[in-house]
Amino acid sequence: MLIFLKIQSEVDKLSAYHPLTEQEAIEFSRSIPEFFPAGAVLTSREIGDGNLNLVFHITDAASGKGLIVKQALPYAKVVGESWPLTLDRARIESEALILQNELAPGLVPTVYKYDAELALTVMEDLSDHVIMRQGLVDGNKYPKFAEDISTFMANTLFFTSDLGMNQQDKKERVKAFINPDLCKITEDLIFDDPYTDSPNNNFEAAIADAAEALRNDDALHLEVAILRNKFLTNAQALLHGDLHTGSVFVTAQSTKVIDPEFAYYGPIGFDVGAVIANLLLNYAGQAHWIKDEAELADFRSYLLGSVREIWTKFENKFGALWDEHNADRLASSASGYKQYYINKLLQDSIGFAGCKMVRRIVGLAHVADIDRIEDAAEREKAQRLALEIGTSLIHLNRQAISIEQAIDIVLSATTKHV
């Protein structure tokens, strides 16, 4: 008993958590060895979107160098301080970033320091990049993205799964990334609310009929229940867990995946599906942002091409890792198993993509690709198109055998919603 009392008193003494001021963020970033020149005049700007974290951008005008200081808040601001969130997610984010940087070098920001007491991570400044969601809304193409994101997913997902690492070590990793609070957000907002009359839902009156249709589609509920169950139980690989285009910093030459605070062991298709869904949400909104018909057709064809390319490259890279680095004798030798496994990944990716589209239209949190469309009629059209694609992907998922089926769904829904 004595020993535990002793530990507790040490913890109390050390426990110094409080949200940093900008001045404190500057002081903290001076502690990174050999980063800023001695005596540098540092400035700080809080640039977080403020839902879950404080994000300080620390810069030294003289050297042009910068750092990001990210601190977790003990609640989710989006729903007020009443939704408490464990600060342990800062550890999860930091450990996930470090691991992802080992498995997919250069595709995530470098972590310089993690402070457990303050739930704070100091990492690479990416202010020369833009958030991909905004880049797409602005009509920019990212020719390296499909290559990079497929490498990121194939490497991080394969090498954290039972296929790519020691299976006993993997169990310890599952334990280290148990993440109940953040998983609950996904379980509620993606896999429950949109299909029932939840106070968390947030949709416009104009599409009330479509929202109601979601609540009354028995076949859809069966598919979502199956996908939800996979999210709850299928500890396949260490996911990023929130891999939408708002979690990706890009330039024409560079891709950096950020914000893995939702990381946990779950179904691989959940990450792949998130990427696909967010490209398709942008697709649904583009008729507003691009007025010229030929330009629109070109950009949409770029987006659909990206979806195809991302899946195909992911499939090929994951398959190549399977062939070269398989740590599981039977998985590696059982005839037909690789094909079976990868086809299940395709099916899951399509199903989860559908769920992620639906929730961005009727659920709590929306996306700028569609929400920022000012014209109500155009916004409604985009929302209906996204819902049509999303629900069709969900209905398809367990029957899917090719990414072309998903592409066909998008094309045929587009024709319907002209």
Q: Does 341 bind a second copy (CB under 8 A)?
A: yes
181 interacts with a second copy by CB under 8 A? yes
Please report how the helices 268-289 and 145-158 are oriented relative to each other, as an axis angle in degrees rounded to 10.
160
* Residue closer to a second copy (CB basis): 224 or 276: 224
Among 19, 27, 180, 416, binds a second copy (CB under 8 A): 180
Site string for a second copy, 137-176 (x = CB under 8 A): -------------------------x----xxx-xx-xx-
Whole-angstrom distance, CA of residue 54 vs CA of residue 20: 8
Residue 287 DSSP SS3: helix
CB atoms within 10 A of CB 380: 17
- Residue 10, annotated as binding a ligand: no
- Tell me: is residue 22 an annotated ligand-binding position: no
- Return the H-helix or E-strand segment holding 238: strand 237-238
- Minimum separation from the CB atom of position 20 to a second copy (A): 24
Quick note: the x/- pattern for a second copy over 182-201, rule CB under 8 A, is -xx--x---xx--xx-----
To a second copy, the closest distance from the beta carbon of 408 in angstroms equals 26
Q: Which is nearer to a second copy, 114 or 249 (CB)?
A: 114
> Which amino acid would we find at residue 196?
T
Residue written as tokens 């990793």? 173
Single-letter residue type at 138: D
Residue (312 or 339) nearer to a second copy, CB: 339
What is the Cα–Cα distance from 276 to 271, expressed in whole angstroms?
A: 9
Q: Which is nearer to a second copy, 134 or 234 (CB)?
A: 234
E-strand stretches of 73-194: 111-115, 120-124, 130-131
**How many CB atoms are closer than 10 A to CB 51?**
11
Helix axes 337-362, 293-325, angle to 10 degrees: 140
Least separation in angstroms between residue 221's CB and a second copy is 4
Distance (Å) of CA 248 to CA 31, 129, 413: 27, 9, 27
Task: Please give the annotated binding residues, written as ranges.
Answer: 53, 70, 124-126, 242, 259-261, 359
Q: Binding residues for a second copy, per CB under 8 A?
A: 3, 6-7, 10, 162, 167-169, 171-172, 174-175, 178-181, 183-184, 187, 191-192, 195-196, 218, 221-222, 224-226, 228-229, 232-236, 328-331, 333-337, 340-341
